[in-house]
Chain A
Amino acid sequence: DAKTTQPNSMESNEEEPVHLPCNHSTISGTDYIHWYRQLPSQGPEYVIHGLTSNVNNRMASLAIAEDRKSSTLILHRATLRDAAVYYCILRDVPGGTSYGKLTFGQGTILTVHP
């Protein structure tokens, strides 16, 4: 499985933007980049995913490097409720041998200060 590398932890102040980086230098052409987050004592929650182009949704934006070897999850205005562990995951296409198997690394622990 292609691996991702994320910083262990990051801190932010409330109302400020947060940029969470992820390196995936061995990404294959068919891998999608997915981001999930896990709030304390809860199950993971989908945040966003993309293939090549930058993506926006109501939760966040995903900026993907042109060579796809890295990506950045952007929270435009952090709130206290955004404090969580953020996971960057590469996922195979449907029908791919490892499609069903998301590999969660250690993720980035985001702390948001009031």
Chain B
Amino acid sequence: NAGVMQNPRHLVRRRGQEARLRCSPMKGHSHVYWYRQLPEEGLKFMVYLQKENIIDESGMPKERFSAEFPKEGPSILRIQQVVRGDSAAYFCASSLTSPTNTGELFFGEGSRLTVL
């Protein structure tokens, strides 16, 4: 029973390149969340997705960042034209949610992006 799988675990990009971070939720989970943790800071919510839908993207930067969770395949967080300030750990979480379940989020081990 694999947990939340994120890849790559470490990614190095030069300024201006694109970064793609992948997240496979736990089996049976249809809700995915992305969080960012800047160096020496707390975790910040970015986006909440269900299959093929963005439910809440209030934490996503308005430009260069996008997220998707297609019907088939992993969730993708895409960062275009990366800048040094994008260097951070990006965590994905998933949950099994029903209208009566305030269940826990299961987090992956994170993808650590370094922008040179």
Interface residues of A (CB under 8 A from B): 32, 34, 36, 38, 42-46, 49, 91, 93-95, 98, 100-107
Tell me if A94 and B45 are in contact (CB < 8 A). Answer: no
Instruction: For residue B11, give the distance in angstroms from its CB to the closest CB of chain A.
Output: 16
B70: Cβ under 8 A from any A Cβ:
no
Tell me if B99 and A94 are in contact (CB < 8 A). Answer: yes
A104 to B91, CA, bound (A): 13
A25 to B96, CA, bound (A): 29
A103 to B55, CA, bound (A): 16
Residues of chain B at interface, number, CB under 8 A: 28
Tell me if A105 and B42 are in contact (CB < 8 A). Answer: yes
A74 to B108, CA, bound (A): 25
Residues of chain A lying within 8 A (CB to CB) of residue B93? 43-44
Instruction: For residue A50, give the distance in angstroms from its CB to the closest CB of chain B.
Output: 10
Tell me if A107 and B42 are in contact (CB < 8 A). Answer: yes
Tell me if B102 and A93 are in contact (CB < 8 A). Answer: yes
B69: Cβ under 8 A from any A Cβ:
no
Contacts A102-B33, A104-B44 supplied; 11 other A-B pairs, CB < 8 Å:
A36-B105, A43-B4, A43-B107, A43-B109, A44-B105, A46-B104, A94-B99, A94-B100, A101-B48, A101-B59, A104-B45
**Residue from B35, B42, B98 having most chain A Cβ neighbours under 10 A:** B42
Tell me if A49 and B43 are in contact (CB < 8 A). Answer: no
